[in-house]
Structure 1
Amino acid sequence: MSLKENKLLVAALDFGTTYSGYAFVFRHEDHTKIMANTVWSGGSLMSLKCPTCVLFDQKKQFHSFGYEAEDKYSELALDEEHEKWHYFRRFKMTLHNKQIKRDVEIHDDKGLTMPAKKVFGSAIKFLKTHLLGTLKNRGTEIAEKDIHWILTVPAIWSDAAKQFMREAAVSEAEIDSGSLTIALEPEAASLYCQLLPSDKLSGQGRLTAAKYMILDLGGGTADITVHEKQTDGSLRELHEPTGGAWGGTKVDEAFHQMLIKIIGAKTFKTFCDKNKADHVDLLRELETKKRTISPETIGKVTIKIPVSLTNTYEKQSGETIADTLKETPFKDNIIWAADKVRIEANLFKSLFKECTDGVTQCVRELLQKPEVKDVDTFLMVGGFSESPMMQAAIKEAFPKATVIIPAEAGLVVLKGAVVFGREPLKISSRIAKYTYGINISPPFDTTIHPQEKRVAVGGKERCKDVFKKYIQKGESIKIGEKRSGKHVSLKADQKEMLLKIYASAAKDPKFITDPGCEYMGRLVVKLPEEQDIFKVNVDMMFGQTEFLVEAEEESSRRKFTSYFDFL
């Protein structure tokens, strides 16, 4: 079996900023049979997925993932044996809005670096191995060659970030590239929610609106997409994905900044460095509170604080935190005991402000677009959508909208990725985020080409750096749709044709040197030796989660196919 649609099992790996997990189903079964491993626990905290934390030993070899990695690193720190180990947590955001190369390195919690591909790939491999072990324990052991793997990524990620995840899965997690599909997280959620009965959707019952907006709120990002349901049941994207870094980790950052304003950055850093186990406990405690706080919460919110944090401050400053609090803006809002902090409810709620403001403003701007302005149904998915604070913010900002929140919203993307693997054509079209094209050198035309672009190639005057457009930003592209063009070799002795692919934020770029135009990758076409000038027909397949380019040399009929190389 080689074709993905012929694989016996569809298995999805949901790699999240804060939590990760997996789900699977046999291809002949429907969505009600999708199985997800939801038995993860660490200390007193139970979760439907496991923390995205990975630990490497002194030799930079993988040791553990999830709660096991958290606990092991905490134990090493208690014995002061952690210095040469490498611990990574919440590292997915290192791929968001960054220039990415294959050899990029990321920092562990002590500032030491390792290749990002090894860190990401090791995490993916853990999920893959755990899934295979679960299948074996259930008596449904299956060969890897019979599995179609789905890996989730945010829709707002760059093409380079998506390719990086594919390469990490292939090179480090040893997943066959031909058996791997990249799924966009809000799309996956949208597909799954189409299948849910009314008792699994809070709000207005089944998702019946023709047009609706998906708010995928996770640990790192808010990923927002708009879909329209077609008469054949497929989904059409109405606007390019948008969003930002307004996930649940922003609340953690705001909480940390509040502590720093009280005890100082130096004390907080010392606490984090010297008391790893206590810091993990503090994060788990905060995670629990984030899930339960609501706009109706009154009085004070109690958070258990490690005694080591209080002791660290008093040792460094010679003062008690209670006395220091009297000199801060929080003197009337926070009561600090030895192992507890009592925070005025309104102050704790304010920690969500950056997230709620960011998401609601983004939605308002999106609703101003002509193709989206009549959308009045919002589908909230992702783990952070389970927060009563986030739910209330959306409902308050858009009181006339229908807000639908599926049960176990944190698992919707994961299960939806399995649905996408079974029926990828259910997403019928997508909106192009950029204008894509190829660099060409046509004959120089004095009436339209600037003099500085004139070059001599093969004895002819040509214009360099011309952007030959294949698709325009904002254009709706059907899944698998091809855009074709013809290219001619420039010199008689040319042994290969290098097709350089560019993307531009502008709708109609003229040259690859225009502002906002970036080099994305290339495809090399080998040319035969029998003749002087060659014609190459190029097809670009757009609309997929990953773009594909195919070139055919006309005389020999040789074909060259490749994914765009964005790295």
Structure 2
Amino acid sequence: MSAKGNKLLVAAVDFGTTYSGYAFVFKDEDYGSIIANSVWSSGNLQSLKCPTCVLFNPYGVFDSFGYEAENKYSDLAQDNEHRMWYYFQRFKLILYGKQITRDMEIQDDKGLKMPAKKIFGAAIKYLKTHLLNTLSVRGTGVDENDIHWVLTVPAIWRDAAKQFMREAAVNEAEIDSGSLTIALEPEAASVFCQLLPSDKLTASGRLTASKYMILDLGGGTADITMHEKLHNGSLRELHEPTGGPWGGTRVDEAFRQMLITIVGDKTFKTFCENHKEDHMYLLRELETKKRTITPELNTMVSIKIPVSLSSIYEKANRETIEKALEKTLFKGKMIWYTDKVRIEPSLFRSFFEECTSGVVQCVKGLLQKPGLKDIDTLLMVGGLSESLVMQAAIKKAFPNANIIIPAEAGLVVLKGAVIFGREPMIISSRIAKHTYGINISPTFDSSIHPQEKRITVDGKDRCKDVFKKYIEKGESIQIGDRRSGKHVSLKPNQKEMLLKIFASSEKDPRFVTDTGCECMGRLVVKLPEEQYIFKVNVDMMFGQTELLVEAEEEISNRKFTSYFDFL
């Protein structure tokens, strides 16, 4: 079986900043039968996903993933045998808002470097193998050739990041590219809440509105998308996805900065480097408290703090940790005992401020835009949506809105990705995030072209850097919509034609060198040797979660090898 629709099983991998997991359903089963991986646990912390952390041995060979990687690395550190091991966590954020290359590297917590694609691929491969083992134990008779794989990515990611994830899954995790679909996380959540039977959608409201906003609040980012449900049941995107770095890790960072303010950067760095086990314990303790803090809490929040942190400080500074606390703005707002701190609830809730204010301001801005002002339903999904503090902030900011928070909000994207794998056409149209086009060099026209753009190619005056537009920013694009254009080789006997793909933040750029234009990739078309000048028809297929391109030589109607490369 090669066609995705004929596969026996659809399996989705939700690769998150802090936690990851998988879910699956068989071809003929209803969506109420979607199976998520069982509860993962370590110590007092249980979760429906496992931590996104990977451990490699000193030779760069994959060792373990998730809680197993955390525990083994902690044991190695306790015996001071960890320094040559590679340990990576929360590395997904490197793909958000940064220049991405195929050979980029990531530093671990000790500064050791490894190719990013190897790390991402190892994590995906572990989850793939875990799923295959689960299917084997269940006696399903299903092997990986029977599976249509779905990999989730944030909607606000750039095309290069999506391609990077696909290549990691294909080249490193050994997933067949033809059996792999990329799903956008907030879209998957929207699909889940539309198609799941109402008795399965436990919430503070019901998703009955035709227009609504999806707030996918995860560990690393807030990913926000707007949908309208059409009469035929399909979903139309109303605005390009937006969001920002307002995930749960910002809460962790605020807590970390508080500790650094008290003990100093040097002490905290020594603690993290020399007491790995204690540091991991502290992070798990914080994760537990983040889930239990409420807006109404009026008693002190107790968090166990490893004794090693205060010991390092007191030894280096010859004063007690209590004295250090008295010198900061946190004096009177918390008490530091030897092995724990007690924090005023208002101070602990302030750790969420960057997340809550970022999301609230973004949503307010969106609801002021034409076509979105009538949206009064907000669907909250993702792990951070389970936080009562975040829920309260959204409800306070939008008191008249219908706020819907599905049960197990952290699994909604995962299960929705399974459904999307079965029914990808449920998303009928998307909004272009950029203006896309190709750089061309038409015949120079002095009445419209500036002199500084004049070049001579094969004896002819041409204008360089002209932006040939294929799609305009903000345009609604139907799934599978093709935009065509013709391109002519500039020199005789070219062996290949290189077309650079550009994206612009403006609707109608003139040149690819204009402000807001950025080269997003390239299309290489191999040309036959028997012709002098070539005309190539280029089709760009928009509206999918990934941009597809085809090229065909005009005279012979033969299609030649081409690839679209964002990396």
TM above 0.5, yes or no, is yes
Check whether the contact 1:86–1:108 (CA below 8 A) recurs between aligned residues.
Answer: yes
- Note if 1:522 corresponds to 2:522: yes
2:524/2:564 contact within 8 Å kept: no
Listed as ranges, the matches of 1:63-82 within 5 Å are: 63-82=63-82
| CA shift for structure 1 position 562 | 4.9
Whole-angstrom CA distance in 1 between matches of 2:115 and 2:529: 42
Q: Deviations over 1:119-139 (max 9, x none)?
A: 111001000000000000111
Provide Cα deviations, 1:34-84, integer angstroms capped at 9, x if missing partner: 111132001110000000010011101100000000000000000000000
Contact 1:52/1:66 (<8 A) preserved: yes
Shift, 1:116, TM fit? 0.4
**Counterparts in 2 of 1:356-435, with a 5 A limit?**
356-435=356-435
Deviation per residue, 1:449-483 (Å, 9 max, x gap): 11111112222221111110000011110111000
Where does residue 455 of structure 1 map in the other structure?
Answer: 455
Q: What CA distance in whole angstroms lies between the structure 2 residues aligned with 1:214 and 1:564?
A: 30
Counterpart for residue 56 of structure 1? 56
1:319 deviates by 1.1
Aligned CA distance change for structure 1 residues 353 and 471 (closer, same or farther; 3 Å)? same
Q: Give the residue type in structure 2 aligned to 1:331.
A: K
Counterpart of 2:552 in structure 1 is: 552
Query: Percentage identity across aligned positions?
Result: 75
What is the Cα deviation at residue 201 of structure 1? 3.9
SS of the residue corresponding to residue 10 of structure 1 reads strand
- Give me the whole-angstrom Cα distance separating, in 2, the residues matched to 1:438 and 1:326: 61
3-state secondary structure, aligned to 1:560: coil
* Separation in 1, partners of 2:493, 2:213: 54
Secondary structure of 1:564's counterpart equals strand
Pairing of 1:105-184 with structure 2 (within 5 A):
105-184=105-184
Equivalent-residue separation in structure 1 for 2:43 and 2:192 (angstroms) = 32
Q: Which amino acid aligns with 1:208?
A: T
> Is residue 2:563 matched to residue 1:566?
no
Shift, 1:265, TM fit = 0.9
Aligned-partner Cα distance in 2 for 1:506–1:421 = 33
1:489 CA drift (Å): 2.1
CA–CA distance in structure 2, aligned partners of residues 227 and 560 of structure 1: 38
Does 2:293 match 1:293?
A: yes
Compute the displacement of 1:202 (Å).
5.0
In the other structure, the counterpart of 2:473 is 473
Cα 1:486–1:380 change in 2 (3 A) is same
> Does the aligned pair in 2 maintain the 1:435–1:504 contact within 8 Å?
yes
Say which SS state the counterpart of residue 302 (structure 2) adopts. Answer: strand
SS at match of 2:503: strand
**8 Å Cα contact 2:525-2:562 kept in structure 1:** no
- Aligned equivalents of 1:335 and 1:243: distance in 2? 36
Residue 101 of structure 1 is matched in structure 2 by 101
**The residue matched to 1:406 in structure 2 has which SS?**
coil
Q: Which residue matches 1:542?
A: 542
Q: Which amino acid aligns with 2:289?
A: K
Contact 2:482 2:542 (8 Å CA) reproduced: yes
Q: 3-state SS of the aligned residue for 1:279?
A: helix
Which residue does 1:10 correspond to in 2? 10
Q: Which moved more, 1:418-427 or 1:523-532?
A: 523-532
* Cα shift readout 1:306-353 (whole Å, capped 9, x = no counterpart): 111121111111111112222221121111111111001111111100
Equivalence for 1:45: 45
Q: Give the aligned residue type for 2:456.
A: A
Q: Secondary structure at the match of 2:100?
A: coil
In the alignment, structure 1 segments of 5+ residues that lack a partner are: none
Contact 2:439/2:512, CA 8 A, preserved across alignment: yes
Contact 1:528 1:556 in 2 (8 A): no
Alignment partners' CA distance in 2, 1:209 and 1:323:
56
- What's the CA shift for 1:200? 4.3
Structure 2 contact 32–196 (Cα < 8 Å) conserved = no
Find the counterpart in structure 2 of residue 192 from structure 1.
Answer: 192
How far the C-alpha of 1:505 sits from its partner, in A, is 1.1
Distance 1:144 1:162 in 2: 22
Q: Is the 8 A contact 1:548 1:561 kept in 2?
A: no
Say yes or no: does 1:223 pair with 2:223.
yes
2: CA distance, partners of 1:65 / 1:95: 20
What secondary structure is seen at the aligned counterpart in 2 of 1:559? coil
**Bigger shift: 378-387 or 311-320?**
311-320
**Mapped partners of 2:411, 2:271: distance in 1:** 34
Residues 349-360 of structure 1 aligned to structure 2 (within 5 Å): 349-360=349-360
Within 2, Cα distance between the matches of 1:562 and 1:419?
31
Separation of aligned partners in 2, 1:528 and 1:16: 45
For residue 343 of structure 1, what is the aligned residue in structure 2?
343
Q: Which moved more, 1:369-378 or 1:194-203?
A: 194-203
Conservation of the 8 A alpha-carbon contact between 1:549 and 1:561: no
Q: 1: CA distance between counterparts of 2:9 and 2:279?
A: 40
Q: TM-score, normalised by structure 2?
A: 0.98
The whole-number CA distance in structure 2 between the counterparts of 1:526 and 1:83 is 48
The answer as to whether partners of 2:32 and 2:200 remain within 8 angstroms in 1 is: no
Contact 2:526/2:562 (8 A) holds in 1 = no
**Structure-2 separation of matches of 1:112 and 1:493:** 48
Report the alpha carbon displacement of residue 563 of structure 1 after superposing the two structures with TM.
5.2
CA distance in 1, matches of 2:336, 2:194: 48
Matched position secondary structure for 1:358: helix
Query: Is the contact between residue 431 and residue 476 of structure 1 (CA under 8 Å) also seen in structure 2?
Result: yes
Opposite residue 418 of structure 2, the aligned amino acid is V
Q: In structure 2, what is the Cα distance between the partners aligned to 1:200 and 1:24?
A: 17
Q: Distance in 1 between matches of 2:349 and 2:201?
A: 26
Distance 1:197 1:143 in 2: 30
Give the 4+ runs in structure 1 shifted more than 6 A.
none
Gaps spanning 5+ residues in structure 2: where? none
2:8 aligned partner, one-letter code: L
Deviates more, 1:97-106 or 1:532-541: 532-541
Structure 1 residues 367 and 563: alpha-carbon distance in aligned structure 2, compared to 1, 3 A threshold:
farther
| Distance in 2 between residues matched to 1:83 and 1:63, nearest whole Å | 15
Cα shift readout 1:277-298 (whole Å, capped 9, x = no counterpart): 1111111110011011011011
My pick for the range that moved more, 30-39 or 244-253, is: 30-39
Q: How many residues in Structure 1 have an aligned counterpart in Structure 2?
A: 567
How much does 1:198 deviate?
4.1
CA contact (8 A) 1:24 1:36 kept: yes
Secondary structure of 2:351 counterpart: helix
Please state how far the C-alpha of 1:196 moved relative to its aligned partner. Answer: 3.3
